[in-house]
Amino acid sequence: MAKIAVIGICGNSVFMYADHFHSKGETLVAEECFEEIGGKGINQAIACARMGAEVSFLGAIGDDSDGEKCRNTAKENNLKDFLVAKKGKRTTFAFILTDKNGENRVTEYVGAELEVEDVLAFQKEIANSDFLLLQHEVPDEVNEAAVEIAKRHNVKVILNPAPIREISDSIAENVYIVTPNEQEKTAINPKRFANVVTTLGDKGCMVNEETFIPALKVKAVDTTGAGDTFNGVLAVCLADGMDLESACKYAVTASGLSVTKPYVLNSIPQKNEIEEKLLSE
């Protein structure tokens, strides 16, 4: 069984669906509203778990009702919960607006945050994993500490560089795969990384500027979380022994399936769904 460690955000999200996005000064009336626990960290962790991996998830929550919802969601999705409650802090909160084409706009309030001491307490889980999944929703010093632990224990790191920010040399030189989208790629200097898998939305992905893997042809309902599905599935496929190109094909299929359903956790596919789709292609 693949063992994956994931460090990232877990918070509450409110989804609203409308015909189009706001123009300046416009008030929109939503056609639907839905609340769900999310964040790149927990989304990627759940994507790993639905692939059958053993997943240890480290995140920070507030000492509030949303924090308890995060714990419940981790338990319901078979994650080994290493959520750290930060006294006096609010759990991270996000607002997601999706238009009729399935495209989305996300606004996030970052509440409780991880600290280096939390990563040090998590180092046994990193050391015992096949892969470590990271994103940019936690402070740089947290990712740097995690990468250093992974390096000492020969654990491969996948970095999803979202949201965009500078990546230190100490992280870049120790990342096995970086997974930017097209916008993020322009900001990271890909030559600094051993492997670059660029996600291309509804077009698919590009592996190391050499191999293009096309996306599924589907009707998108909601693209929120498609990248998180891609990253989680990619990590498990690699941990299970697939080569990078095969793992990316599997991950592209998974992310394609995810956009055909609304919301995020609801849309992350199970392993058998992905395999059935691959067989039908």
Percent of the chain with pLDDT over 90: 87
Give the pLDDT confidence score for residue 153 in this predicted structure. 98
To the query of whether residue 228 is one of the catalytic residues in this protein, the response is yes
And the tokens for 206? 């590009």
What's phi and psi for 266, nearest 5 deg?
A: -65, -25
Kindly report, residue by residue over 56-76, the tens digit of the pLDDT. Answer: 999 999 999 999 999 999 999
Kindly report, residue by residue over 11-24, the tens digit of the pLDDT. Answer: 999 989 999 998 99
Q: How far is residue 167 from each of residues 8, 107, 231, measured CA to CA in Å? A: 16, 22, 18
Give 280's pLDDT tier (boundaries 50, 70, 90): confident
Give the pLDDT confidence score for residue 166 in this predicted structure. 92
Give the pLDDT confidence score for residue 239 in this predicted structure. 98
Q: Which domains does the chain have, with CATH numbers?
A: 3-21+30-280 (3.40.1190.20)
The answer on pLDDT for 104 being more than 90 is: no
**Are the C-beta atoms of 229 and 223 separated by less than 8 Å?**
no
- Catalytic: which of 63, 228, 240, 243? 228
